[in-house]
Structures are given as structure tokens and as C-alpha cells.
Structure 1
Amino acid sequence: MQRRILIVVFPGFQLLDMAGPADVFGTAALLSPADGYTVEVASPGGGAVPAGNGVTVMTGTLGDVTGPLDTLLVAGGLSVPEHVQDRELIADVVRLAAGARRVASVCNGAFLLAEAGLLDHRRVTTHWLAAGELGSRYADVQVDPDQLYIEDGDVWTAAGVLSGVDLALALVARDHGHELATNVARGLVVYLHRPGGQSQFSTPMRAMTPRSEPLRELQAYIDANPSADLSVPALAARAGMSERHFSRVFTEQTGLSPGRYVERSRADTARRLLEVTGLPLSAVAREAGLGTQETLYRVFRRHWRISPGDHRRRFHSISRERPRGT
């Protein structure tokens, strides 16, 4: 059975929000023609629609599309604020969603789903830069800004840009199994799809860059030496400050307390070790500065809602050596 995918775009949309998922579904159709996908792209006015980067895409007219659909996917883009009040566009999204098996968005396309009332009382994600506004604008939407993609019932939302590829691979895996998703990923020369609970960004990206050169050097030291003594007293002494003053200045300039930054940095180190080494979990915990395997498990569940062993299994195809001790 062919699964019909409709991707909604508009002038100024993010090209990769459309092209990434379209190529995933298109490759799946090539690899498994009997039960693949058909992909359509439609816009409010139809015809030639310019993406935000100037590339023009030919589209169908959204108002002329009728159901049923397997998946309704809404792209994002810098122009979303201009289109979120387009009543005709929102009405078409509502109409088509009613006849779709599932709906999805990439990046700030989530605003269009939220405006249509499709995200009410749902846990969702969007690009981290837009997460705060999405949560404040739509009080009934539960926004988690630190996820690549989230599935909540028949609604899927992805973070930003290339996370749309991760979402589409997850949909293929859900529809046809992990083997087809893996083959699609290999065909597109991308990582085997990442679990949705993986963070949108690493610790240095999550924190602001300190204005102070000594704090920038200290931040780099933390990331490079996860197994060192990174307690507040030790870091304050290294920075030449009192503990109280150090904690206040570090939090003010990075947006994270010293303890939270250290834990996130160590968690990122552990994640990388799981992905590219075969070290037992106990050794990963020690080298990442987390001490014990139990602490490693708790930190992983807190940050990514997945166990270290499950994370390693998802990433075994990119490991440099066969994982042990999972």
C-alpha cells in the first residue's frame, strides 16, 4: 500500500524542512516500491513558491487537496510569523489533519499546527530558538526545547531543519521496520536515525559564551577534563574567585549554574564515548566523570529519556569498535 505524504509549504519556507523528509520518503519508496510512499507538496496559492534561500519549488494548491492522507507534514521557516495568521492556510491544515492518519511539523512549523489547535495538551518540540515563544503564545501546548523530535499520539514534531530527516526516518521505521529505515539512512549517507530523546545541541551550544576570558578558558577546561575535580570549590579556586562570587558570575554569563553545566558536559562526554567506543558502561561512567554506572543511567534518563545501553544500540552502526558491556 502506498502511503500518501503531503508536505505543506509557503513563501519563505525552510527548504531543508521539505527536502529532507521528502528525500527520506522518496528513498524508502525506491527501496520498497510495493509499500512505499508518494510525496506531494502544496502551498496556499499553489504554483512556484520561493524558499527562504531563494530556490523556487513547484507546488500544488493546498485548497484543492482532498484526503485521505497518511501523513500531513508542515514545514517551518523564517516567514512562519507572516503566515500564522493566514486563516485560509490554518483552515486547510485543520481540514486535512482531520483526514490524516498522523500530522507532523518540522522546526517552527509547529506554530501553524498550534494555531490550528492540533497541539493542545500535547508534548511537542520545535527549534530551540523558537521554543520559548511557542510555549508562551500557546499556553495549552507543552513545549520541550531539548529534543530532536517528539511523538505524542498521532502528532509528531521535530526541532530544527535537519532533525526533519531524523523524524522522517523514525516514521519509516514505525511504518516498515528499522531495517528499511537503516537502508534509507545508508542510501542518503546519514547517521542511522537518532532517537528523538537526543538533545538538539551539545553543552557548549546550550550555554552562552562567557564574556570573561578566564571563564571562557574555564568552560573549555570543564569540557576537556570531565574526570577532573569539577566541584564548585575547585572551579572557583581555578578561576581565582570566592565560591559565592564564582557561582553567581558563572551562572550570569553562561545561563547555567556550575553544577548543571558540569553535569551536562559530562553527560555529553558519556554520550560520545557510547557512540564511538566499545568501553563497558562502568568505564564510560568513570571516564566521563560520572563515577558509577548507576549515576550514568540516572543522568542519561534525566537528559535524554533513554538508557545508556539503548543509546549505544541505536548508534552501534557508527561505532569504531564493537560495543561491549551494554
Structure 2
Amino acid sequence: MKDVAIVLYPDFLLLDMAGPVEVFSIANRYLDPAHQYRLTTIGTGPSLMRASNGVSVQADTCIDSDQGNYDLLLVPGGPGAYNERHPALQAWLNTAVPRSRRYGSICTGAFILGHAGLLDGFQATTHWNYIDRLTKAFPKALVGTDQIYIEDRQLITSGGVTAGIDLALAVVAEDHGRKVALSVAKVLLVAMKRQGGQAQFSPMLAAVSAEDSPITRVQNHVLDNLQEEFNIECLAHLAQMSTRHFTRMFAKEVGSTPTEFIQSARIDRARQLLETTDLPLKTIAWRSGFGSVRHMRLLFSDKLGLTPSHYRQQFG
């Protein structure tokens, strides 16, 4: 029997806990009793743990009394993970992780592991909206930006919310084979391995700064005229800078090259049209400035991990 423990703390995200729990629970239907998962919830205190949606959960035990050895120890995310510090939980994790064969997090639970020093030197990920925050908070971690989940030695972390289901299915597949994991995925009506990464859910571009500067004027010009063909020389001329100075200032202010900014802007425009219209792909490619469906398809596949047609099927 494999022991899986999930830590609960005030303001955790209920689905981060419930998703993996359901995966392991349903997997037990297909396993002999000796090979099933035994699930334990561990609270930071003896009282009910209130989730961020208002539902309260009574943990099986609490960190003050737990001395278990686990095959997998998971920390869910939630506002309580990134808005609060949990010194007692962090201290307990540093004693519990050595007693566990594997450990990990769902969504923003990575922040709790990070504060406990358990991400240092490891590849890890979190919800796409918190990638930059995690990277800045824990510079010794190797933060992945697009993966649904990442395995690195004994650490396994996942992206946002439902990615905890992907993580748990991957664990079941490793423990008991793809056939069992696929059976669980069918019961849950989810893909065994979803197409594309987290990038398909997140905007490619951050909002343009409200500050009026030569660089923001160029950005807004690009966004207003995506059907045009752009080159660095014409953009530098718009900013009234030399090409070299413009390229350096653009990267400093925006965090990407002008070419990367234009590509991202075109992808976001195409995504918006795919989500909200029934326009043919050829028209969308033209309105977004790609020039051809083939070029649009190549960039979508490279940046998002799926084609424009597949994107429309998922989000349109």
C-alpha cells in the first residue's frame, strides 16, 4: 500500500486537494488492496481547516502529532500559500520531507515549499499567473514557465488548480502503469495527457505601461497596426532612436526583444479572434499580421504547443 499525505492550512484551495484525492481514490477501484493508496490529510492545527471558498475540512491528523512516513507528501495552493507565512508548517516540512519518498505541490503550494527551502536547486513550476513572483521569491529554484507539471528527482510540482489532476495521474501511471491511469482519466472525463502547456491559458503580453515614453508609443503603434510588416529600423525611427539604442532600451523596459513583442502581440490577437469569432483561419492570420495560416500555425505550435484549430476547439 502506498501512503499519500496532503497538508491543509487556512485558506487553501479546495480543488488543489480534492483533484489529486479523487485521482488516487478512483485508482483504488482498479488495484488490489495491497497496492492501493492510503490517503491522509494533515492539518496545521487540530481544528477544521477552512478553504478559500469557505468550505471547512477536518484533517485526519495535525502536524504537531504526525510522524508518518509517506510515499508522496503534497502541499496544495491557495491564497494562504502566497499571502501568508507558515513557520510551524515550514519547520514540520523540513522533518517530514526526509521521511517521504517523494514530495511536491499543486499550484501555488510551491510558495510554501519555497519558504521551507525545499525548491532550492530543483526544477519546479506553479500557476502561470504566479511564475514571475515565484522566480523572484526563490532565485535558487529553477522555475519552469510552461509545463503542466515538472518532476525533478523526488520533487514533483504542478501548474494551476486542475493541473494537480495531471500530476496525480502521472504518479498513478508511474506506480501502476498507463492502463490504470487511463482508466482513472476516463472516469474523471479528463485527458490522460493534455495537449500544450500552461502558455495556452496565459496572455503572451503584459499590459503596456500607462507611462508615455518612446518605447510605449512604439508598443501601442504595433498593437494598433498588427497587419503591417515591421522591422527594427522603422520601429527605431518611430522612437527617434538609433537601432542599437532602441533595441537595448526596448529590452530593458519591456523584458523582450521587439521581434518577440510583435510575435506575442500577433498570437494574442489571433487567440482573441479564435475565441470570439467564427472567422476563417486565413482571415484571422491576415488580421493578426501573420501573413499566412502556415506562419500562424508554426508560431502557435512553437509558443503554445497546439495549432490554431485546436486552440479554437478548446477555447472558442
TM-score (norm 2): 0.70
Aligned pair partner of 1:289 in 291, 295, 304: 295
Amino acid at match of 1:5: V
CA contact (8 A) 1:203 1:265 kept: no
TM-superposed deviation, 1:18: 0.5
Residue in structure 1 matched with residue 73 of structure 2 by the alignment: 72
Give 1:1-326 correspondences, 5 Å limit: 2-34=1-33, 35-63=35-63, 64-81=65-82, 83-87=84-88, 89-194=89-194, 198-202=197-201, 204=203, 206-208=205-207, 231-232=230-231, 259-261=259-261, 263=263, 287-289=293-295, 300=302, 303=303
Bigger radius of gyration = 2
Give, in whole Å, the separation in 1 of the partners of 2:47 and 2:92: 17
Q: 1:206 to 1:107 in 2, by over 3 A?
A: farther
Give, in whole Å, the separation in 2 of the partners of 1:66 and 1:221: 62
Amino acid at match of 2:185: A
Q: 1:266 to 1:150 in 2, by over 3 A?
A: farther
Amino acid at match of 1:208: A
| Offset from partner CA, 1:193-221 (integer Å, 9 cap, x none) | 337x7234346455437989xx8997699
Give, in whole Å, the separation in 2 of the partners of 1:185 and 1:217: 46
TM-superposed deviation, 1:121: 0.6
| Offset from partner CA, 1:170-192 (integer Å, 9 cap, x none) | 11122222222222111111222
Amino acid at match of 1:12: D
TM-score (norm 1): 0.68
| Secondary structure, aligned partner of 2:200 | coil
| Offset from partner CA, 1:231-281 (integer Å, 9 cap, x none) | 548x98xxxx78989x99x999987655325545788989xxxxxxxxxxx
TM-superposed deviation, 1:94: 1.6
| Offset from partner CA, 1:143-178 (integer Å, 9 cap, x none) | 223322111111011121111111111111222222
CA contact (8 A) 1:104 1:155 kept: yes
TM-superposed deviation, 1:19: 0.8
Amino acid at match of 2:47: G
Between the two proteins, what is the percent identity of the paired residues? 32
CA contact (8 A) 1:43 1:60 kept: yes
CA contact (8 A) 1:203 1:264 kept: no
TM-superposed deviation, 1:72: 0.2
Give, in whole Å, the separation in 2 of the partners of 1:38 and 1:206: 43
CA contact (8 A) 1:159 1:200 kept: no
| Offset from partner CA, 1:282-321 (integer Å, 9 cap, x none) | xxxx734168x8xx79x74xx57xxx7xx89xx9xx99xx
| Secondary structure, aligned partner of 1:40 | strand
Q: Which runs of 5+ in 2 are unaligned?
A: 211-215, 272-291
CA contact (8 A) 1:182 1:193 kept: no
Q: 1:66 to 1:132 in 2, by over 3 A?
A: same
Q: 1:118 to 1:207 in 2, by over 3 A?
A: same
Give, in whole Å, the separation in 1 of the partners of 2:189 and 2:82: 33
Give, in whole Å, the separation in 1 of the partners of 2:51 and 2:175: 29
CA contact (8 A) 1:101 1:154 kept: yes
CA contact (8 A) 1:16 1:161 kept: yes
CA contact (8 A) 1:266 1:288 kept: no
CA contact (8 A) 2:147 2:159 kept: yes
TM-superposed deviation, 1:81: 4.2
Residue in structure 2 matched with residue 276 of structure 1 by the alignment: none
